[in-house]
């Protein structure tokens, strides 16, 4: 592998205002490198400096061994192409004409296209799946199509490096995926190096070989997504407030700040959706007992709910069971999410039965016909809810009833 673009000890910014300092990038052939960070962190400034649109304040950028500042603009255009965020109004230019503009550094004085040039344009449009649009006007295209055409234009320059500033903003999921897949293909098949900035954390983690985290004027981390994106990285990078991000799940959940008034079971994914729905409805809860490797546990924690946990691959033990019982004593309602009963989590059913015995209301999302098999003689003491919607309605009616203030005061202090 050989180096395509190298930035060393780079300080970037405008005149006297330094935006990001000490940027080091070493991009190899065929690599996809992503700058990730909040708005205003300096991603665009870094990209502008890498592409020679902005002179570095300190340090150097070299492309294939040539300093970007000293290489001629036309020579640079054969090495490097860009896709910018600028909104273009290209009037009556057709998609083909727009892509063909990428031949600019290669064609003669009048920009006359040779057979070879036309083939390059055709191939590029085909590569981004936009050849069928070739006679359409730019203004008639959707945002996703426009972005693909701009990538084709960059490709037509036959560069070794393509730099894209937020190429997936404004795009729907389908087009986001398409654009990223196109770029991945360019890296893998044509050996083009791609440097881009992204707002989609998911896409960055899953598609790029290297990520650079940019935060408040410095590169806080650089490496493979697996090395760089750890628990809490994203939370800190973006200073997210009022929500939590789970790096493993790639999921963002809004914080549930309500006082817990319900005990909601779960397990095997039966809880995640309900936890979210209850949080959305402004209902506080304690979730349990969940195994540490259960998706319900991850989502519940990210929702900022209290979780009573058991070690993965172990049957529910006395410690967690006792903890759950203590919680149930202080609340008036329990919810059975309809989790499958297995050897490891059988004691969750015991907890629900304990609740009934203690005179608590128990809601279940199980089907009525399964109730007897699940609860035996206790079945007629269970209130079945046909849907989460109905459950929430009932829970809101129960809310605040029989609340034990002393208990919650203690819990809050703990």
Partner 1 sequence: MGKKSRQRMMITVLMGMTLFVGILSISVGSVNIGMLNVVKIMLGMDVGNPVYSSIVLDIRFPRLLAAVIGGAALSVSGLLLQIFFRNPIVEPYVLGISSGASLFVGVAIMGGYRFGLSGIGPLYLFLGAFAGAMLVMIAVCCAAKKVHHITTLLIIGVMAGFICSAGTSMLTSFADKEQIANYVTWTLGSFSGFSWMQVKFLFFLNAPILIAVFLLSKPLNAMLFGENYALSMGLNIKRFRMAIIVIASILTAGITAFAGPISFIGLAVPHIVRILFHSSDNRVLIPAVIVLGALMTAVCDFCARMLLSPVELPLSAITSLIGAPIVIYLLVTKRSEL
Q: Which residues bind partner 1 (CB under 8 A)?
A: 51-53, 72-78, 80-82, 84, 86, 88-93, 97, 101-102, 104-105, 107, 109-111, 139, 157
**Pairing outcome for strands 3-14 and 17-28:** antiparallel
CA-closest candidate to residue 159, choices 221, 106, 113, 216: 106
Per-residue DSSP letter, 220: E
| Closest distance of CB 145 from partner 1, Å | 17
φ and ψ at 77, to 5 degrees?
-65, -20
| Closest distance of CB 176 from partner 1, Å | 23
- For residue 362, give the 3-state DSSP assignment: strand
- CA triple 242-336-316, angle to 5 deg: 90
CA pair distance 108, 111, nearest whole angstrom: 5
| Closest distance of CB 98 from partner 1, Å | 8
For partner 1, the closer CB: 139 or 224:
139
| CB hemisphere CA count around 372 (13 angstroms) | 1
Tokens of 27: 């991009």
CA dist 165 to 42, 294, 346, 352, 390, Å?
11, 38, 53, 54, 46
CA-closest candidate to residue 36, choices 175, 206, 151: 206
Through-space distance between the first and last CA atoms of the chain, rounded to whole angstroms: 56
Instruction: Report the interhelical angle of 272-280 vs 388-398 (nearest 10°).
Output: 50
CA pair distance 235, 76, nearest whole angstrom: 38
| Closest distance of CB 92 from partner 1, Å | 4
| Closest distance of CB 154 from partner 1, Å | 9
For partner 1, the closer CB: 157 or 265:
157
For partner 1, the closer CB: 84 or 207:
84
For partner 1, the closer CB: 98 or 362:
98
For partner 1, the closer CB: 73 or 174:
73
Three-state SS sequence of 322-334: HHHHHHHHCCCEE
Tokens of 201: 């954390």
Task: Please report the beta strands in 128-192, taking only residues with DSSP state E, as ranges in sequence order.
Answer: 161-165
| Closest distance of CB 40 from partner 1, Å | 16
| Closest distance of CB 14 from partner 1, Å | 11
For partner 1, the closer CB: 71 or 274:
71
| Closest distance of CB 307 from partner 1, Å | 50
For partner 1, the closer CB: 92 or 313:
92
125 C-beta neighbours (distance < 10 Å), count: 26
For partner 1, the closer CB: 28 or 53:
53
| Closest distance of CB 167 from partner 1, Å | 14
φ and ψ at 87, to 5 degrees?
-85, 125
CA pair distance 163, 63, nearest whole angstrom: 12
Helices H, strands E: what count in the chain?
16, 18
For partner 1, the closer CB: 77 or 351:
77
| Closest distance of CB 75 from partner 1, Å | 8
For partner 1, the closer CB: 27 or 308:
27
- For residue 300, give the 3-state DSSP assignment: helix
């Amino acid at each position: 592998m050989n180096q395509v673009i190298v930035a060393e000890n780079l300080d970037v910014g405008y005149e006297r205002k330094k935006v990001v300092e000490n940027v080091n990038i070493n991009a190899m052939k065929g690599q996809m490198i992503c700058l990730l960070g909040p708005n205003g962190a300096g991603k665009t400034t870094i990209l502008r400096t890498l592409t020679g649109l902005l002179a570095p304040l300190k340090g150097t950028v070299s492309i294939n061994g040539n300093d970007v500042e000293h290489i001629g603009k036309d020579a640079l255009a054969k090495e490097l192409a860009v896709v910018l965020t600028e909104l273009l109004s290209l009037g009556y230019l057709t998609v083909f004409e727009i892509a063909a503009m990428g031949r600019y550094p290669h064609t003669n004085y009048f920009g006359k296209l040779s057979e070879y040039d036309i083939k390059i344009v055709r191939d590029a449009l085909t590569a981004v799946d936009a050849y069928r649009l070739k006679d359409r006007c730019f203004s008639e295209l959707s945002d996703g199509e426009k972005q693909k055409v701009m990538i084709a234009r960059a490709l037509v320059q036959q560069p070794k490096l393509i730099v894209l500033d937020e190429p997936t903003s404004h795009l729907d999921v389908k087009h986001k995926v398409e654009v990223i897949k196109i770029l991945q293909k360019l890296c893998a098949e044509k050996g083009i190096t791609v440097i881009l900035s992204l707002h989609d954390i998911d896409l960055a983690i899953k598609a790029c070989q290297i990520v650079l985290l940019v935060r408040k004027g410095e590169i806080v981390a650089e490496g493979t997504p697996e090395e760089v994106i750890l628990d809490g990285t994203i939370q800190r990078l973006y200073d997210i407030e009022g929500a939590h991000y789970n790096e493993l799940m790639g999921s963002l959940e809004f914080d549930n700040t309500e006082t817990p008034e319900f005990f909601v079971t779960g397990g095997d994914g039966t809880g995640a959706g309900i936890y979210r729905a209850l949080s959305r409805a402004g209902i506080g809860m304690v979730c349990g007992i969940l195994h540490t490797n259960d998706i319900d546990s991850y989502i519940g924690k990210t929702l900022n709910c209290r979780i009573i946990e058991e070690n993965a691959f172990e049957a529910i033990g006395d410690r967690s069971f006792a903890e759950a019982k203590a919680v149930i004593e202080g609340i008036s309602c329990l919810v059975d999410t309809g989790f499958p009963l297995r050897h490891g989590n059988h004691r969750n059913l015991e907890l629900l039965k304990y609740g009934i015995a203690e005179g608590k209301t128990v809601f279940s999302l199980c089907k009525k016909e399964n109730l007897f098999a699940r609860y035996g003689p206790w079945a007629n003491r269970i209130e079945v809810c046909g849907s989460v919607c109905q459950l929430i309605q009932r829970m809101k009616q129960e809310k605040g009833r029989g609340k034990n203030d002393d208990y919650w005061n203690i819990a809050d202090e703990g």
